[in-house]
Chain A
Amino acid sequence: MIDGPYLEFEKPIMELQKKISDMKEFSRVEDIELDSEIKSMEGKLKKMQDSIFAKLTRWQRVQLARHPKRPYTLDYIDLITTDFVELHGDRCFADDNAMVGGFAKLDGRPVLILGQQKGRNTKSKLYRNFGMANPEGYRKALRLMQMASKFNRPIIILIDTPGAFPGIGAEERGQAESIARNLREMTNLEVPIIITIIGEGASGGALGIGLGDRVFMLENSWYSVISPEGCAAILWRDAAKAPDAAEALKLTAPDVDKLDLIDGIIPEPECGAHMDPSLAAEKLKKQILIALDELDPMTPEELILHRIEKYRKMGVYTT
């Protein structure tokens, strides 16, 4: 993955990778033995990667979560399931292209899988509304989840959104109501719900499909009550202070894990999921299958009871 856009702090890694690949190409074309040189440069690369990624700032993690090459929901669906049949529409107003979902087979087993979808180029970004769902997206998600509950299929959710869409139509059609309803109704679903934040987990837009039995975060994802930009605009009165807000919000996977609000962190390939999407998907799938195994023996009543208890405990205060 040495082509295409990269982040500022990835630049030295990209340059060195390019050099190594050039040297390999040179060695092959000219048939000159350069193995020791290549090996030494690869050692240097590893060291460089380790030193950059060992001390990532929270803001750099946010940037990784938004990396233009990062795998999105449909990429993971393609990589971890087979026979995906996408299902559309909320049976009420519209089909929201920022929210995708449908039935698929996970290791041959039927599941419902859904999540927000971002676009990769200008056209698809607009088509997917930058991964910002409208009320019809949350209502489509709920319709599909209730169908999965009806037919006893576990629900796999992948979250990746910069927020629920803040627009006139969204307010007219009840953005707040659609998210609130999902939170209440997801509590009552009678099948396992396994959630992973794969990129951005921004606020109510993320939580609107985010209540379940297991919640994981990919190593370089973020999850918080507001985006760093939004927080900076309000508390610092300057959106450019987003890096400071990211630090203050403690929004990385290790931060959220430390607060005991998630069930685990799914490691990403070295230097981020975009460097090796297949490996990232493999790790994601492995964790989902472990969670499914744990939840399978539970009755619907047990699932619901544990789910309520899980959220009931969340909060830090003194009496």
Chain B
Amino acid sequence: MDWFRKSKDGLVSQQKKEIPDGLWTKCKGCGEVIYSKILEEQLWVCPNCNYHFRINATKIISLLLDDGQLETYDDNLSSLDPLSFRDSKKYTDRIKASQQKTGMKDGLISGLGTIDGLPVSFAVMDFAFMGGSMGSVVGEKIARTIERAIEREIPLVIVSCSGGARMQEGILSLMQMAKTSALLAVLAKKKMPYISILTNPTTAGVMASYASLGDIIIAEPKALLGFAGPRVIQQTIGQDLPEGFQSSEFFMEHGFLDVISERKDLRRNLSLCLQYTYDKPVNG
């Protein structure tokens, strides 16, 4: 396709000088080219086919929290390289590159905020940081987010977006699944609600731990959800996968989701679920 792109670039080259990059965005769902400003007004959902573009953690915070404000915690937690891991690149180089790309220390923002006045301990994953993968830092920040909900007796909200546990930290990443799930057992005993929100994609180690353990689980439409990746399943069973396999709709059909919510309704659905499960203390 290189020849095609080149000639197209050539055609718009004069315009390109005057207008900022990313004025138009091509929809991954229907291929339609959309004016980015409109797309932004639509919360990055295609007006043509309802495809939900993946958005970063900061945008999720603006979307869901009162005044788009989160009092962040643990921002400086950063990965070490306990295995001295190296494949084609060093793990430390991958971390540095992701830090430069995203301006984050690791792939998760967490803290305290309110949603329609209700206090929440909140965390949101960012796929742009090594595929949202969970290593020690993401696991620790999730653990502290759960602990803040336990200590303050407030609801927990986690927005997941992750390919799973981070391979570069080996078994330490695996143990983050145990760590976060064990703390969720404590939160459940406190009878504090946990709303888990799943965005595209939420799979493997994250799906097989805290993402699946919400009292209420809400997903965006057509997100890829599951334990094993579709390619692995295809190779294992040696046949094509059915249409819509491992989508939010598939998960709903099989009984593993409470709500599929379009992005424009997500804040309202979350707010209602919090109201139905949590009474704010009178003096609080």
Do B78 and A180 touch across chains, with their CB atoms under 8 A apart? no
- Are the C-beta atoms of B176 and A175 separated by less than 8 Å? no
What residues of chain A lie closer than 8 Å to B77, measured between beta carbons?
317-319
* A-binding segment of B48-56, B114-122, B234-242, B260-268: B234-242
B229 to chain A, nearest CB (A): 8
How many B residues touch A, CB cutoff 8 Å?
Answer: 65
CB distance from A155 to the nearest CB of B (A): 16
Considering only residues 156-209 of chain B, those with a C-beta below 8 Å from chain A are: 165-167, 169-179, 181-186, 188-189, 203-205, 207-209
B78 pairs with A318, CB closer than 8 A = yes
- Given A204-B227, A248-B87; A167-B236 close (CB under 8 Å): yes
Interface membership of chain B positions 130-163, coded 1 if the CB is closer than 8 angstroms to chain A and 0 otherwise: 0000001101100100000000000000000000
B183 and A317 contact, CB distance less than 8 A: no
Shortest B24–chain A CB gap in Å is 32
Q: Separation in Å of the A19 CB from the closest CB of chain B?
A: 41
User: Is A207 within 8 A of B178, CB to CB?
Assistant: yes
In chain B, residues 64-90, which have Cβ atoms closer than 8 Å to a Cβ of chain A? 74, 76-80, 82-83, 85-88
A312 within 8 A of B: yes
Closest B residue by C-beta to A174: B256
B254 touches A (CB below 8 Å): yes
Q: A residues near B, CB below 8 A?
A: 164-168, 170-177, 179-181, 183-185, 187-188, 203-204, 207-208, 210-211, 223-226, 230-231, 234-236, 244-245, 248-251, 256, 259, 261, 307-308, 311-312, 314-319
**A-B contact list, 6 entries, CB within 8 Å:** A165-B236, A180-B212, A223-B174, A236-B87, A311-B175, A318-B77
Interface residues of B (CB under 8 A from A): 74, 76-80, 82-83, 85-88, 136-137, 139-140, 143, 165-167, 169-179, 181-186, 188-189, 203-205, 207-213, 226-229, 232-233, 236-237, 241-242, 245-246, 250, 254-256
Supplied contacts A175-B226, A225-B171, 19 more A-B pairs, CB within 8 Å = A166-B227, A170-B227, A171-B227, A171-B233, A175-B228, A176-B211, A179-B227, A180-B181, A187-B181, A187-B182, A203-B165, A204-B227, A208-B208, A225-B167, A225-B173, A226-B165, A249-B83, A250-B171, A314-B139
